[in-house]
Amino acid sequence: MKRLLRSLLLAVLAAAPLSAGTIAHIPEPARFEWKLDAAALAKAEAYTSTNGCGFDLGTRPSAAGQPFFFSVAVPEGNYRVTVTFGDDHAVSATTVKAESRRLMVESVTTAAGESAARTFIVNVRTAGLPPPPKNAPGGNSVVLIPGEQGSLTWDEKLTLEFSGPAPRIRALEVKWIEAPTVFLAGDSTVTDQRGEPGASWGQMLPRFLGPDVAVANHAESGETLKSFLTGLRLAKVLSQIKPGDYLFIQFGHNDQKKQWPQTYAEARTTYTDYLRAYIAEARLRGATPVLVTSVQRRMFDATGHIKDSLGDYPQAVREVAAAEHVALIDLTRMSTAFYEALGPACAPLAFNDGGRDITHHDNYGAYELAKCVAQGIRDAHLPLAASLAQDFTGFDPAHPDAPETFHLPASPVHRDAALRGN
């Protein structure tokens, strides 16, 4: 395995910017360092598997300020990315997302001739698993659903999206790093939604964590505690999780569906048993489990209060957290307070598909719910609270940001298909 990884690294490093960049190679497996200065950036071509880096998805910087993508081929792992923003002759206003629309840096602005640098950590992964020993059960790969095939979430490159009123950058640096990682296990309300207008809190969470921690969002639409295990998604997480990491667990929306007999889990029996198994697996590897109750659906009664649609599942999570001495983030209660603060007329502004979807969120809703999770990290007194972004001053879901004040550049990738499990 070490020989294979070393060969892969050498191939990637050799194929990186060639005449358009500066490469520093640390000759150990998974020690990857890559730099691209302003002159090399101006000469960069379209990304191919041969050149190993370049502008991607048919885009490149333009005077008109259109979004653009840049990709670098890397082995899976965590990478510290440093972006230098600015332009000698024009103002810049840039937001950075990574992989499938994970919000990393929000609205960095510079005047003409100025520069500003920001650093963050991006988790990159493939679907591959360490092969099981001969005759042992298991598999070589996560069982991906059709929408995941060929997605930026699971490919062998690190992709950055630059958007905003005037996205302009001067330099890029990508370096492999060991870092504490927050692994997310969950469903469509947590996953990195791959296209506009949908979004989930998991892909907004990196914005509210500092540059010393990574987020590895393994959640996917339609998943349950059972399917996350049988589809080898949990196996993928457990193959990488290590002491000092976290495993955030949020299921329930799909587990409650009796019409899905293969994955249905009764709240007070199998559901809680599976939660305990996830907790035990995380602890066995020295990681910290965190339970998160499901976000509510947007169903108001005649008095303007949210009607419960989650049954006994949130209370079951609370009871397991108390019995197992696990930190709890009660997103059911926080999302209820958030929706009720907006009221029946404005709450649709937080939801996907122009509010026609009552379960899944848009960028604004996901952003506010990620703030709820950040506040939950602080309220639970997790050591991770020390890694919250410096500009996160706290959040009360009963007093959310007004929808009209929220401005996040939309990604150029759109997705019209119904979300799995909807």
Residue 8 pLDDT level (bands cut at 50, 70, 90): very low
Given a cut of 70, whether residue 367 has pLDDT beyond it is yes
Question: Does residue 184 have a pLDDT over 70?
Answer: yes
Q: Measured between alpha carbons, how far is 21 from 44 in angstroms, rounded to an integer?
A: 9
Q: Is pLDDT above 80 for 385?
A: yes
- pLDDT value of position 420: 66
Mean pLDDT of 323-327: 98
Average pLDDT over residues 371-388: 98
Answer yes or no: is pLDDT of 16 > 50: no
Classified by CATH at the fold level, domain 1-178 comes out as Jelly Rolls (2.60.120)
Domains 1-178 and 179-422 fall in the same CATH topology: no
The reported pTM is: 0.91
Instruction: Report how far residue 398's alpha carbon sits from residue 155's, in angstroms, rounded to the nearest whole number.
Output: 39
- 159 band by pLDDT with thresholds 50, 70 and 90: very high
Angle at 291 between CA 363 and CA 339, to 5 degrees: 40
Q: Name every residue whose Cβ is closer than 8 Å to that of residue 45 and which is 6 or more positions away in sequence.
A: 20, 51, 54, 55
pLDDT-derived band at 150, boundaries 50, 70, 90: confident
pLDDT > 50? residue 5? no
Cα dihedral across residues 144, 148, 152, 156: positive or negative? positive
In the prediction, which pLDDT does 180 show? 97
What does the pLDDT look like over 57-75, one tens digit per residue?
999 998 888 999 999 999 9
What is the mean pLDDT of the segment spanning 150-174? 95
Q: Could you check whether the bond before residue 197 is cis, i.e. omega within 30 degrees of 0?
A: yes
Rounded distance between C-alpha atoms, residue 251 and residue 202, angstroms: 13
pLDDT (mean) for 359-380 = 98
Q: Is the pLDDT of residue 17 over 50?
A: no
The fold of the 179-422 domain, in CATH, is: Rossmann fold (3.40.50)
Using 50, 70 and 90 to split pLDDT, how confident is the model at 122?
Answer: very high
pLDDT value for 13: 31
- Measured CA distances, 332 to 243, 319, 373, 390 (Å): 29, 14, 11, 26
pLDDT at residue 392 in the model: 97
Q: Delimit the domains of the chain by residue range.
A: 1-178, 179-422
Instruction: Give percent of the chain above pLDDT 90.
Output: 85
What pLDDT digit, counting tens, does each position of 204-257 carry?
999 999 999 999 999 999 999 999 999 999 999 999 999 999 999 999 999 999
